[in-house]
Structure 1
């Protein structure tokens, strides 16, 4: 009897072990299967996007993705790639020559640019604008690195041109220009419902120059003479990132105004602009103008469009 009980106990224990092991084996099998499937997927190349995909049509005639991408490349491809290459070249130059550009320096240059020519960077978003300024600063620092300008010359220039460094508050502004008040109010209503200002400006604005840029007219301030003063008046009382009320313009047209960014006015001290002035004077003494492309050979830059 004892032997029989012992045998039954051992048999029961073995069965329990099998019951506990069975799910574990299933789990190992499932994990192994997943690993095999993942490995097969990893070896299989991604399926390319179909270039014959229809992205639009006119009277039943399709416009394919390939046609669209080809047209965009011809229109802006070279300019965009040039910016990317030049930015990379200047970043590489900065590392080689130990040059640093701080956010404070970019802020200063941006403020000075908007004071002199608000439309210089229209069509670019804020980050693109800052990146372009950063690349320009690196280039200027590389070129002026070995030019010596004494402090007396710099101070004399500041004293004679102090008004240049008193900056008015500037508003990065976008507009939609339409012929009637009703159209302007309809545009305002669409924007309140979530429509994109950029897309709506391209679709309905009659001011072709700004419409092509999504309504962007760059930075404007109280001294900007190229923009209807009523647009500035609305921008100056509109919060950053917001859209103002409908504006009746002096030429009988109507505008919807959006403020994308505000740069507060300030007066820069001699200490704040000393290095900027020194660099500007040094650049004036260089025999010729140099652009980032001059450094392509040094840093082995190559691109799709050839030499």
Structure 2
């Protein structure tokens, strides 16, 4: 994965910059899995009566849940199933090749992604995000297990890019944006009365981009662009899972804010990031990018859409 800061100095030699492909793959997995969980929610405890349930109507003509689900399956069903199969294939590959991914490794990748690459609007909770990072690590380890990287090359990269492994504090943040203070206070009261933050964000937030993700802004800090400084100021003071009172923003709107997770500022040592650097340099030696689909045949993966 590529973990350079957005304001990375121009003096860093271009040949030392690592590929962005693995991170892009991870973001794709995060998006597809988010859609998968939406499908899962729709289908859980489904009874035959739900198929004929009216979910919308036009000029008095109903649109049934069955029609809705069929359209959803046609549009995104293939991608969702593909990512689910890919996850299972990677787990099989880990077993086959004796590959282990520790919580400490996932912690490192999560810290680097969130603090150095900035916001990640995934809409997934922390557990789901960690699951996808694990799959990406398995893929990287399988691809690079036979690639030899000299110790001197690893040390040289660390010395030239040591500041990249200084992880800034980051806050997994969710917001509900209201147009007036009165509306924000009503939302705050509903949360205090037991309403779910994510559900209210989808229903009441006027910011559709975050509202559709249950209020998720991703991981933010004082280096994050396009987030109101008042939100950053608030999250730095909030405890994990604490909900703020209405916060006035610079565009005359108001925000209710909560912090789902905090990542502490720290400097990773050479020994802590050595395997990470070695793996990334090894990926640079591969002639082309490889996706989990390349392993389908090896593990006899089959799916509804026929041969891959």
TM-score range, shorter chain: 0.7 to 0.9
* Residues 2-151 of structure 1 aligned to structure 2 (within 5 Å): 49-54=48-53, 56=55, 62-74=62-74, 76-120=76-120, 122-151=122-151
Query: 1:34-88 CA deviation, whole Å, 9 max, x = no partner?
Result: xxxxxxxxxxxxx963344426455876553323433443454333322211110
CA contact (8 A) 1:121 1:129 kept: no
* Larger RCO, structures 1/2 (Cα 8 Å, 6+ apart): 2
Q: Distance between the aligned counterparts of 1:236 and 1:148, measured in 2?
A: 43
Q: Kindly provide the CA deviation profile for residues 101-133 of structure 1, in whole angstroms up to 9, marking residues without a partner as x.
A: 011100100000001233335211111101110
CA contact (8 A) 2:119 2:224 kept: no
Q: Say if 1:100 and 1:108 are closer, same or farther in 2 by CA, change over 3 A.
A: same
Distance 1:74 1:231, change over 3 A: farther
Cα distance, 1:233–1:110 mapped onto 2, change above 3 Å: same
| 1:182-205 Cα shifts (integer Å, max 9, x gaps) | 111111111111112111111121
Q: Which structure 2 residue ranges, 5 or more long, are not aligned?
A: 1-45
Distance 2:174 2:87 in 1: 27
Alignment of 1:1-307 (within 5 A): 49-54=48-53, 56=55, 62-74=62-74, 76-120=76-120, 122-306=122-306, 307=308
The DSSP-based 3-state class of the residue aligned with 2:242 is: coil
**CA 1:209 to 1:196, structure 2 compared with 1: closer, same or farther past 3 Å?**
same
Q: Distance in 1 between matches of 2:206 and 2:304?
A: 36
The 3-state SS of whatever aligns with 1:50 is: helix
TM-score (norm 2): 0.79
| Distance in structure 2 (CA, Å) of the matches to 1:118 and 1:77 | 29
* Separation in structure 2 between the aligned mates of residue 276 and residue 146 of structure 1, nearest angstrom: 15
Question: Is the CA contact (8 Å cut-off) linking 2:179 and 2:252 kept in structure 1?
Answer: yes
Identify unmatched segments of 5+ residues in structure 1: 1-46
Partners of 2:117 and 2:207 in 1: CA distance: 20
C-alpha offsets along residues 263-298 of structure 1, whole Å, 9 cap, x if unaligned?
222111000000000101111121111111111122
- Residues 65/250 of structure 1: CA separation in 2 closer, same or farther (3 Å cut): same
Bigger Rg, structure 1 or 2? 1
For the 8 Å contact 1:179–1:253, the answer to whether it is kept is: yes
8 A contact 1:179–1:254 mirrored in 2: yes
Question: Is 2:55–2:64's contact at 8 Å kept on the other side of the alignment?
Answer: yes
